[in-house]
Structure 1
Amino acid sequence: MSSSILPPQHPDPSCPPPSPPAPLSEAQRTSLSNLIGHFSSPTFKLPIPATPPPEGCKTIVYTEALMEFEEHWLSEEQILRFLRATKGDEQAAKKRLEDTLAWRRTFGIDAFTAEYISPENETGKQLAFGFDKERRPTWYMRPALQNTEQSPRQIHHAFYIMRLVEACIPRGVEKLALLINFAERGRSPSLNTSKQVLFILQDHYPERLGTAFVVNLPFLVRGFFSLISPFLDPVTRTKLNLPSSTNLTTYVPPSQLDTSFQGDVAFPKYTPEVHELYWKSERGIVKLAEERERRGLENWRKLPLVNGGRVGRREWDYKQGEETWGVGLEQEVKGGGETEEEEEVDASREEFEHQTPVAASA
């Protein structure tokens, strides 16, 4: 067993290698080409957000034309995800893509910064950490560690974590695994916030959720899922395992799974020092995601044009070589040992708990 909070940079070596994209049908190729042409057209315009992002976020000077990062987001795989979500209905996929592009601008997802979001994660209530056996990055939610009052930033936090998770998606993978544990007693997010997060996932991140395991489900929360279930897309509904077994080693390698799900990784108590290591250090999740985004964008810029534009370039192509992308030293802790940096955090954590016995026992 190992104690670690630094995220693994890559799937466990026991996971199968990535598979190239499956061939497209004639109908898919036609719809894909039409959608790429639509979003590449110089006549395509997006509304400019009327309100600035919250204080602490980046200021983006939008134009009606697509920004470079929006062209990058409109990959071939992204367009195909929306086509699959609309059962191949080209016009419906176009409308959903347009709505999502507009939503991303008004919501502010590309303007959020680690500094703006950091207060929301000071208890480690959400973590991007590791990969399952299908090479999908895993997103932990620990609702009982809720530390802030209901506000837009709570929802911003969830989708900033989603962005970190998406940045870690390996080549040949499109989905993620969600692990939610209600074990600890505490102040969970409001049902209204939970509902908003669930509907945003369904509406603007189609085909991203591979599976969701929910354990130690309280009666009230189980009732909430029962109430909203009729409003969820049937495909989304089938991905929610409510409740799940607490042993997920069938689905996630123990070397990259927290002990609360019977894995071999013991997340340390999430103190300020641990937050500093996980969130802000050179080998933490934010730096890892930023490096992977930087390398991917660098490769994307070198790819040939598609139908005369930059929309529709393939993730499979620009993620080539991503198995070598990373930050700092090797993240995985092998043989039950700890890195020197983590040993220092453990020592400071023990001192912190000794000095604050009330907080430590809470």
Structure 2
Amino acid sequence: MAEPTTLELDAKYDDYDFPTTAPVPQNGHAGYLTKQQQALVHQLRLMLEAEGFTKRLDTLTLLRFLRARKFDVALAKKMFVECEKWRQDIKLDETVPSWTYPEKEEMFKYYPQYYHKTDKDGRPVYIEQLGGIDLTAMYKITTAERMLTNLAVEYERLADPRLPACSRKSGVLLETCCTIMDLKGVGLSKAPQVYSYVKQASGLSQNYYPERLGRLYLINAPWGFGTVWGIIKGWLDPVTVQKIHVLGSGYQKELLEQVPAENLPKQFGGSCECAGGCPLSDMGPWREKEWAKPPKWETEETTINNTPGEIKDGGADVPAAETAVTDVAEVKAPAPAAT
């Protein structure tokens, strides 16, 4: 493999106020690109601009889509275009700044899904408890459309402000989550309903919010889950499968090796007991004054002012590269985040 190159940034597209180098050397990740990979970013951006796309063309976004498609520019472009069509269809850019979900607390009686603090790598911890899912009861509280919209909004809020705040605190670029999916209570009677929902979630997160999964712990896996897991693996990319750990009821030791006890809710073997309950606290660096900043979707238009200038790399001013870098984000219908 060719020697990695420093990540090229251009103020026309890139407006980062957090670190932009991956925590460890990884092929195709920020700060560890080959010259050819960097050129593919440029190529993808030019192709998208030629088709009239102007938003989400920043370098880090484009890199996620390229990695998700093994740096096949044509496939990455297809993924991006489909994502942008979906965003436009549901008016996601207009929805995110004003979205409220007042039924959240009532919904959590059936299906808690929430971000809570960070793992030992500094990434947001995302938790889902699937044992109480009852779609009939849930649809009396909300609608399928609102559930999906809320999931999409949460993905957007993961991208900004959650991950930028975690990156500032860690001093490195963090783009993924540590996900805990609790299967306790998912018996045979609930399995078809729960697993169909999980399949939808897996497909949506993988296809429309690529490269967001760092680790996934499936805990309290019921008897016979091995057979189901064999089917689920078929829906996933082999790289994704390597990030997934299937654990039974004795999961605490392995989970605590990744998540500090003080950051893990007590019900999962940790020591955290947030006032009002961990599921509704939304605690993490994105709530800490030292690291949190208003999300860009709240403070300015999505399109960056196309004026060349200085770019911030983890707080340090660096000259903007003369060449533009290609980057586009594509997203599709939201899913319960096995992000």
Q: TM-score, normalised by structure 2?
A: 0.64
Consecutive unaligned residues in structure 2, runs of 5 or more: 1-21, 168-172, 317-339
Which residue identity lines up with residue 85 of structure 2 in the other structure?
A
1:85 aligns with 2:63: no
8 Å CA contact 2:275, 2:281 repeated in 1: no
Percentage identity across aligned positions? 22
1:6-26 CA-to-partner distances (Å, cap 9, x unmatched) read xxxxxxxxxxx9689414211
Which residue identity lines up with residue 138 of structure 1 in the other structure?
V
1:199-224 CA-to-partner distances (Å, cap 9, x unmatched) read 01111122110110011012465543
Selected match of 1:105 from 72, 79, 88: 88
Selected match of 1:255 from 262, 273, 290: 262
Selected match of 1:30 from 39, 45, 64: 39
1:45-70 CA-to-partner distances (Å, cap 9, x unmatched) read 6xxxxxxxxxxxxxxxxxxxx4xxxx
8 Å CA contact 2:186, 2:222 repeated in 1: no
Q: 1:299 to 1:160 in 2, by over 3 A?
A: closer
8 Å CA contact 1:249, 1:263 repeated in 2: yes
Query: What residue number does 2:146 align with?
Result: 153
8 Å CA contact 2:286, 2:292 repeated in 1: no
Query: What residue number does 1:293 align with?
Result: 295
Q: 1:253 to 1:234 in 2, by over 3 A?
A: same
Aligned runs of 1:322-361 on 2, under 5 Å?
none
Q: 1:296 to 1:24 in 2, by over 3 A?
A: farther
8 Å CA contact 1:120, 1:154 repeated in 2: no
Distance of 1:120 and 1:74 partners within structure 2:
38
1:162-213 CA-to-partner distances (Å, cap 9, x unmatched) read 3333320133111111111223579685322211111011111221101100
Distance of 1:177 and 1:198 partners within structure 2:
15
1:225 aligns with 2:233: no
Query: What residue number does 1:40 align with?
Result: 49
Selected match of 2:122 from 114, 118, 135: 135
8 Å CA contact 2:130, 2:183 repeated in 1: yes
- Whose RCO is larger (CA < 8 A, sep 6+)? 2
1:212 aligns with 2:216: yes
Which residue identity lines up with residue 120 of structure 2 in the other structure?
K
Query: What residue number does 2:17 align with?
Result: none
1:194 aligns with 2:201: no
Distance of 1:116 and 1:108 partners within structure 2:
20
Indicate the structure (1 or 2) with the bigger Cα radius of gyration.
Answer: 1
Consecutive unaligned residues in structure 1, runs of 5 or more: 1-16, 46-65, 322-362
DSSP 3-state at the match of 1:213: strand
8 Å CA contact 2:296, 2:302 repeated in 1: no
